[in-house]
């Protein structure tokens, strides 16, 4: 049976991908780390890390085990924390992941403000994460709730969602673009020959799904030349003249020089922002958080 130190070793080595740095964080020698990893792999019956003299990488079995290992560590830390919080009268914690775009339009801000008003003593842990990282962490119990864009293929069976808002799609253009004149309307078909900058996600996931659905309806195939996980960096590349982008309307609240935003007149596709959480849970803090939704969305 694996011990708690084995799970800690797995998580830290996966973060560092370097035996020396991982051993330092674990306060053990590198030979001790190597020996403990060997014990883990012998217990499980498969390798967890692939390594040679040049690099260390997480093996397939290690990638599968990693969210569960984080869950084990989180539960162990939670047990210690509950004892401490009971003594101090501070019981309650909510771990929330969110995508950067959810903070642009104010819906997450309103939700968090209302929750804080109702639960001032609840410990709120916020982590900025891409949606493809959040959903496995929600399913494993490392996050209580995630704020993401859907769809997400192969949604875990224990995870449910609720839509917070839907956003229209706009074009982000460099200031010197021929269509940047404020009086000139823009259609997605006008951009069919342009170089696009888009998210890193596959075409059936998150905002990328909205982009590709809109392009399919317009009868164009976007020539995606650069990808980035954050809209702020996508728009920065647009400002540098490296291409154009389709973005959610709320990105206009982030001021980046040398970019103009214009509505796409031939697009009716919208991009959602949704909450994801485990359908069955034992978190009073999450129940209170979910109860704030109706007031927030009025």
Mean pLDDT across the stretch 42-51? 92
Handedness of CA 180, 181, 182, 183 (dihedral sign): negative
CATH number for the domain that contains residue 103: 3.40.190.290
| 276 within a domain of the structure (yes/no) | yes
Identify which of 107, 92, 7 has the alpha carbon closest to the alpha carbon of residue 283.
92
Residues 6+ apart with CB under 8 A from 126: 96, 97, 98
**Residues 161-180: tens digit of each pLDDT:** 999 999 999 999 999 999 99
> pLDDT per residue over 245-281, tens digit each?
999 999 998 889 999 999 999 999 999 999 999 999 8
Which value, in Å, is the radius of gyration of the alpha carbons in the chain?
Answer: 23
CA distance 49 to 60: 8
DSSP element (H, E) containing 221: none
* Residue 90 confidence (pLDDT): 39
pLDDT at 52 over 90: no
Question: Is the CB of residue 235 less than 8 Å from the CB of residue 244?
Answer: no
Residues 283 and 135 in one domain: yes
**Domain containing residue 33: CATH number:** 1.10.10.10
Could you give the residue ranges of the DSSP H alpha helices within 219-275? 231-239
* Residue pLDDT, tens place only, 171-210: 999 999 999 988 888 999 999 999 999 999 999 999 999 9
Q: What is the pLDDT of residue 83?
A: 65
Separation in Å, CA 188 to CA 202, 259, 272: 20, 17, 19
Provide the number of structural domains found in the chain: 2
- Is residue 213 assigned to a domain? yes
- Please check whether residues 121 and 222 belong to one and the same domain: yes
- Look at residue 103 in the predicted model and tell me its pLDDT: 86
- pLDDT at position 86 is 40
Q: Does residue 80 lie in a domain region?
A: no
Nearest to 206 by CA among 155, 144, 255: 155
Same domain as 106, residue 54: no
Residues 27 and 160 grouped into a single domain: no
Q: Are residues 172 and 247 in contact, defined by beta-carbon separation less than 8 angstroms?
A: yes
Find the distance separating the first CA and the last CA of the chain, reported in whole Å.
Answer: 51
């Amino acid at each position: 049976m694996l011990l708690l130190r084995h799970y800690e070793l797995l998580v830290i080595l996966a973060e560092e991908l370097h035996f020396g740095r991982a051993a330092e964080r674990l306060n053990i020698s590198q030979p001790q780390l190597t020996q403990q990893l060997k014990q883990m792999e012998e217990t499980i019956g498969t390798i967890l890390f692939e390594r040679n003299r040049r690099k260390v990488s997480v093996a397939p079995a290690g990638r599968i085990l990693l969210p569960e290992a984080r869950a084990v560590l989180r539960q162990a830390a939670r047990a210690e924390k509950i004892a401490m919080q009971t003594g101090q009268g501070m019981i309650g914690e909510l771990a929330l992941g969110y995508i950067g775009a959810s903070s642009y339009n104010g819906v997450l801000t309103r939700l968090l403000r209302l929750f804080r008003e109702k639960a001032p003593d609840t410990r709120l842990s916020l982590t900025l994460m891409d949606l493809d990282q959040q959903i496995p962490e929600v399913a494993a119990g490392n996050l209580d709730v995630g704020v993401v864009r859907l769809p997400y293929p192969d949604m875990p069976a224990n995870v449910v969602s609720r839509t917070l808002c839907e956003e229209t799609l706009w074009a982000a253009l460099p200031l010197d673009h021929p269509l940047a004149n404020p009086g000139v309307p823009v259609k997605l078909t006008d951009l069919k020959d342009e170089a696009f900058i888009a998210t890193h996600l596959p075409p059936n996931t998150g905002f990328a799904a909205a982009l590709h659905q809109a392009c399919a309806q317009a009868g164009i195939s976007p020539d995606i030349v650069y990808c980035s996980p954050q809209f702020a960096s996508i728009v920065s590349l647009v400002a540098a003249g490296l291409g154009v982008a389709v973005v959610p309307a709320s990105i206009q609240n982030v001021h980046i020089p040398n970019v103009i935003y214009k509505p796409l007149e031939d697009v009716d596709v919208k991009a959602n922002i949704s909450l994801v959480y485990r359908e069955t849970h034992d978190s009073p803090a999450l129940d209170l958080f979910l109860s704030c939704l109706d007031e927030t969305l009025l």
